[in-house]
Chains A and B, each alone.
Chain A
Amino acid sequence: METPDLHNLPINPNPPSIMHIDLNSCFATIEQQANKHLRGKPVLIAAYDSPRGCVVAPSKEAKKAGIKVGNRVLEARLIAPNAVVRTPDTALIRDAHVKFNKICRDYSPNVVPKSIDELVIDFAGMDYYLKDRSLTEIAQEIKGRIQKEVGEWVTCSVGISTNRFLAKVAASYQKPDGLVVIDQTNILKIYSTMELTDLPYIKYKNQARLKEAGIFTIADFLQADAEVLKARVFESVNGYAWYKRIRGWEVDAIEFARKSFGQDYMLQKVTRDPKVLAQILLKLCEKMGRRLRRHGNVAYRIHTSCIFVDRTWWHQQKKFRSPMYTTLELFRAAQYILDLRPDEIKKIAKISVSCYDLAPSKSSQISLFEDAENKMRKVSDALDEINNRYGEFVITPAAMMSMDKTVVDQIAFGAVKEIQDLYESYS
Chain B
Amino acid sequence: MLENIEEKVSMLLSYNKDKGTVKPHIMKWKEQYITIQEVTYHHLIKKGRELIHVFHATDGHLDFRLHLDTQTLHWKLMEVSDGNS
Contact = CB atoms under 8 A, between A and B. Distances in A.
Interface of A: 30, 33-38, 41, 82-86, 91-92, 95, 151, 387-392, 394, 425
B83 to A, nearest CB: 3
A330 B47 CA distance: 25
Contacts of B54: 91-92
Nearest to A92: B43
B81 A37 contact: yes
Interface in B30-85: 38, 40-41, 43-50, 54, 56, 58, 62-63, 65, 81-85
B44 A95 contact: yes
Given A91-B45, A92-B41, A36 B84 contact: no
B50 A391 contact: yes
B48 A389 contact: yes
Contacts of A392: 47-48
A35 B65 CA distance: 9
Given A35-B63, A37-B58, A84-B84, A387 B48 contact: yes
Contacts of B65: 34
Query: By DSSP majority rule, is chain A's interface helix, strand, loop, or mixed?
Result: helix
Q: Which 6 A-B pairs have the closest CB atoms?
A: A37-B83, A391-B47, A95-B43, A34-B56, A391-B48, A34-B41
Contacts of A85: 85
A390 B48 CA distance: 4
Most buried by B among A34, A394, A425: A34
A383 to B, nearest CB: 13
B2 interface: yes
The number of chain B residues touching the other chain, given as a range, is 20 to 34
Interface of B: 2, 38, 40-41, 43-50, 54, 56, 58, 62-63, 65, 81-85
A36 B44 contact: no
Contacts of B41: 30, 33-34, 92, 151
A36 B38 contact: yes
Contact of B83 (A41, A83, A394): A41
A84 B83 CA distance: 7
18 contacts: A34-B63, A34-B65, A35-B58, A35-B81, A35-B83, A36-B83, A37-B58, A37-B63, A37-B84, A82-B85, A92-B41, A92-B43, A387-B48, A391-B48, A391-B50, A392-B47, A392-B48, A394-B48
A103 B46 CA distance: 22
B56 A35 contact: yes
Contacts of B2: 86
Contacts of A389: 48-49
A151 B38 CA distance: 12
A35 B43 contact: no
Given A30-B41, A37-B63, A84-B83, 20 more contacts: A34-B40, A34-B56, A34-B63, A34-B65, A35-B63, A36-B40, A36-B83, A38-B81, A41-B83, A85-B85, A86-B2, A92-B56, A388-B48, A389-B49, A390-B47, A390-B48, A390-B50, A391-B47, A391-B50, A392-B48
